């Protein structure tokens, strides 16, 4: 299985001057667009911030903050309004983070994952179930 990354833009829906642009790893096992906690202040104040306990990939319980509303644009797809999850992430050897693009924003933006070709595609229709 290969890695799929995609350019993403996140803008605070209330303060549109606050925006982040980055590449995110597509992770169909993750629910939210997950960003490092260190980036939270860069997006400014939010109307909603909920503290949540979450299970990570190793089964550990970690703390995170769900914040919004935000405007999310996944390159090549329609812009959506949603929430993002801020969690403590470790920086790589270059001092960079790897945000995760989960299934909720992908479904909202009508995106399907082509795992054979390692790319994102427009879904033919939205799922009502």
Domains of the chain: 5-122 (2.40.70.10)
Tens of pLDDT, residues 30-52: 999 999 999 999 999 999 999 99
pTM: 0.92
Q: How far apart are CA 122 and CA 125, in angstroms?
A: 9
Q: Mean pLDDT for the chain?
A: 94
pLDDT tens profile 67-88? 999 999 999 999 999 999 999 9
DSSP state of 38: G
Distances (CA, A) of 93 to 35, 37, 122: 18, 18, 34
């Amino acid at each position: 299985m290969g890695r799929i990354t995609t350019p993403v833009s996140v803008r605070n829906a209330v303060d549109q001057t606050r925006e982040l642009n980055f590449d995110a790893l597509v992770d169909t096992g993750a629910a939210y667009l997950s960003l490092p906690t260190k980036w939270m202040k860069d997006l400014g104040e939010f109307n909603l911030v909920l503290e949540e306990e979450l299970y990570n990939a190793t089964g550990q319980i970690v703390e995170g903050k769900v914040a919004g509303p935000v405007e999310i644009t996944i390159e090549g797809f329609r812009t959506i309004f949603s929430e993002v999850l801020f969690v403590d992430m470790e920086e790589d050897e270059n001092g960079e983070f790897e945000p995760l693009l989960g299934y909720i924003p992908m479904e909202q933006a009508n995106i399907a994952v082509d795992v054979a070709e390692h790319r994102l595609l427009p879904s033919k229709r939205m799922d009502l179930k």
